[in-house]
């Protein structure tokens, strides 16, 4: 994108002041509205009501499992509770360790601590933002029970590498370690010929309002091929049975809308990918920027468009770039995510002394300009031109 073209694009302006992580990440139409109304109307009979074991929920679970290629899907009222359920299923004992990256949203780390696990942090790969299996391997001990790894910002983590580690270092009592995926941001992505959600012991999805698909603002699901796991998950979302549980259920109306959103998901992801690839083309050659990477065999869903500035711009210059994008051009950017153990006091309390220099630098270099499946080509051009202009302004300051 040459300077003359950038000037013209910036002069033209942008249709709206995009936020870094748009509050509605999906797109809704009349079909979703009609599905919700239909589910409400069908519940007016006192004998029927908004039953939790109803046709709409069972149908959505079957559809989502089929979509991911798994035998089972268990819906929840959010990914946070799904992560809690995943840790409950491990029956962690005092001293049991779970390895998790700190370049992450805090939900995964909180789930480990909430179930009494010892949180062992690992580094991420600066090229993909996903957990580094080589670093994770160095942190395995005889107390390690599982990996809880996030498919970061829409790109699958290298699941096969973690499955290999899980088999290579079995727990002395429980056997192969469990590989659990946090797929909250990765719905619709693919990995080595499968959809995200297929590989690993289980994967936890979010249908929060900002995600690639949403069930009326909240909701989630856990996918698995393990038949022994399903009764445990269902019990923990319905006040427990032979163990503790609570109310983690999705509603009938959410499930009805979820079935509609699921039919549209691939199209929404395709729109994200088209915009992301076009943006990458426009930003090629912009000094010092590391643009999103999609390894061979992966399909990035681009929940976020992740950029790293050059190492010598880490911190203050990165922060200045973000502020200038907002002040000069009305484009919000997010840092998704800085190291959780550095940002969240509760997590810091349980991870003192853990050394993660790579993650600390990633957190100082990362920024994510907005992307959305219904973003216009003109707004996408404007955002790319704004990034170019701000980078050149800061570089010119010396």
- Report pLDDT digits (tens) over 251-284: 999 999 999 999 999 999 999 999 999 999 999 9
Residue 11 backbone dihedrals phi, psi, to 5 degrees:
-65, -35
What is the predicted pLDDT for the residue at 53? 87
What is the predicted pLDDT for the residue at 233? 97
Peptide bond before residue 337 is cis, with ω within 30 degrees of 0: yes
Is residue 47's pLDDT more than 90?
A: yes
What is the predicted pLDDT for the residue at 52? 87
Is residue 102's pLDDT more than 90?
A: yes
**pLDDT tier for residue 2 given thresholds of 50, 70 and 90:** confident
What is the predicted pLDDT for the residue at 331? 98
3.40.640.10, 1.20.120.420, 3.40.50.300, 3.30.230.10: which CATH number matches 30-260?
A: 3.40.640.10
Sign, CA torsion 388/212/247/36: positive
In the block, tokens 């019990």 appear at 235
For residues 224 and 204, what is the distance between their CA atoms, to the nearest angstrom? 9
Min mean pLDDT across 181-195, 234-248, 358-372 is at: 234-248
Is residue 398's pLDDT more than 80?
A: no
The pLDDT tens digits of the residues spanning 127-176 come to 999 999 999 999 999 999 999 999 999 999 999 999 999 999 999 999 99
What is the predicted pLDDT for the residue at 1? 83
Q: What does the DSSP assignment read for 255-277?
A: HHHHHHHHHHHHHHHHHHHHHHH
Is residue 84's pLDDT more than 90?
A: yes
Q: What is the mean pLDDT of the chain?
A: 97
All structural domains of the chain with their residue ranges? 3-23+265-397, 30-260
Q: Are 212 and 188 in contact (CB under 8 A)?
A: yes
Say which CATH class 3-23+265-397 falls into: alpha beta
- Mean pLDDT value across residues 367-394: 98
């Amino acid at each position: 994108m040459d300077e003359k073209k950038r000037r013209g694009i910036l002069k033209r302006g942008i249709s709206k002041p995009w936020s870094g992580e748009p509050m509605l990440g999906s797109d809704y139409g009349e079909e979703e509205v009609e599905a919700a109304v239909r589910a409400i109307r069908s519940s007016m009979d006192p004998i029927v009501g908004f039953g939790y074991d109803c046709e709409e929920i069972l149908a959505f679970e079957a559809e989502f499992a089929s979509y991911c290629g798994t035998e089972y899907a268990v819906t929840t009222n959010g990914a946070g509770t799904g992560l809690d359920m995943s840790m409950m299923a491990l029956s962690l004992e005092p001293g049991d360790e779970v390895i998790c990256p700190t370049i992450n949203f805090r939900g995964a780390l909180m789930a480990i601590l909430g179930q009494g696990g010892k949180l062992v942090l690992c580094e991420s790969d600066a090229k993909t933002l996903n957990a580094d299996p080589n670093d994770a391997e160095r942190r395995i001990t005889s107390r390690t029970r599982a990996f809880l790894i996030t498919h970061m910002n829409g790109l699958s983590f290298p699941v096969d590498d973690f499955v290999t580690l899980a088999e290579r270092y079995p727990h002395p009592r429980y056997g192969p370690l469990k590989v659990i995926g946090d797929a909250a941001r990765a719905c619709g992505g693919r990995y080595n010929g499968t959809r995200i959600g297929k590989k690993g012991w289980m994967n936890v999805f979010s249908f929060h309002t900002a995600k690639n698909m949403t069930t009326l603002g909240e909701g989630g699901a856990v996918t698995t091929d393990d038949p022994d796991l399903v009764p445990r998950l269902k019990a923990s979302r319905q006040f427990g049975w032979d163990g503790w549980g609570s109310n983690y259920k999705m509603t009938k109306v959410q499930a009805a809308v979820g079935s509609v959103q699921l039919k549209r998901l691939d199209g929404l992801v395709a729109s994200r990918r088209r915009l992301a690839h076009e943006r990458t083309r426009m930003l090629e050659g912009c000094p010092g920027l590391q643009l999103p990477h999609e390894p061979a065999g992966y399909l990035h869903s681009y929940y976020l468009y992740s950029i790293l500035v050059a190492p010598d711009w880490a911190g203050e210059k990165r922060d200045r770039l973000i502020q200038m994008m907002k002040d000069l051009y009305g484009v919000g950017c997010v840092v998704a995510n800085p190291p959780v153990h550095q940002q969240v006091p509760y997590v810091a309390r349980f991870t003192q002394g853990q050394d993660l220099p790579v993650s600390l630098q990633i957190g100082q270099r990362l920024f994510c300009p907005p992307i959305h499946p219904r973003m216009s080509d003109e707004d996408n051009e404007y955002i790319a031109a704004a990034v170019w202009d701000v980078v050149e302004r800061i570089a010119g300051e010396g």
